[in-house]
Structure 1
């Protein structure tokens, strides 16, 4: 199993707009071989730094299945408007990928 996560720092006051972008996009993830599930997570605001943290987390059967998604036409379509909302970000997103070592 493989977990692909992007960490976002969203400017305070832009949280609902950011969530709307995610809820309104057509990712076609469910059509991808090896896809298991997706969650958009919202953390507690960090007022002294001016942002609210979010994480997009997708779960895949394997790292190879995730990489195939990133090379797909579905991926390009889902991310075609990503640059349109830069004003809501406090810095660029940070990708992190993890493989399961042990699980129950």
Structure 2
């Protein structure tokens, strides 16, 4: 499994707006081959980043998503929040799972 984690630093006063954008997202990624699931984590401490995780069958499936028209369309919607809503740039991290307790 390939896991992508995006840490997004959102100003606390924009948190509700940020969360609503995810609740009403286009869901285009959900239909992509190799997509498993999406998990959005709210920080417990204000000022810490949100963490958006996507789980993929493979890195190739994730790369295909990033090169797709659906990716461009889905991310165009993220421009609904002004630049001042963020404390800084997001940080994208990628991982390969070597252990998954759900897999048995």
TM-score range, shorter-chain basis? 0.7 to 0.9
**Cα distance in 2 between the residues matched to 1:65 and 1:100:** 15
| Structure 1 runs, 4 residues or longer, greater than 6 Å off | none
Aligned position for 1:28: 28
Q: Which moved more, 1:7-16 or 1:63-72?
A: 7-16
CA contact (8 A) 2:21 2:78 kept: no
> Within 1, Cα distance between the matches of 2:57 and 2:39?
16
Residue 33 of structure 1: how far off its partner (Å)? 0.3
CA contact (8 A) 2:3 2:55 kept: yes
Taking structure 1 as the reference length, what is the TM-score of the superposition?
Answer: 0.87
What's the CA shift string for 1:55-86, capped at 9, x where partnerless? 11010000100000000111000001334422
Task: Decide whether the 8 Å contact of 1:12 with 1:45 is kept in 2.
Answer: no
Q: Secondary structure at the match of 2:100?
A: coil
Q: Which runs of 5+ in 1 are unaligned?
A: none
Q: Distance in 2 between matches of 1:103 and 1:31?
A: 23
In the other structure, the counterpart of 1:78 is 74
Aligned CA-pair RMSD: 1.4
Aligned residues: 100
Partners of 2:72 and 2:7 in 1: CA distance: 19
Q: Higher strand proportion, which one?
A: 1
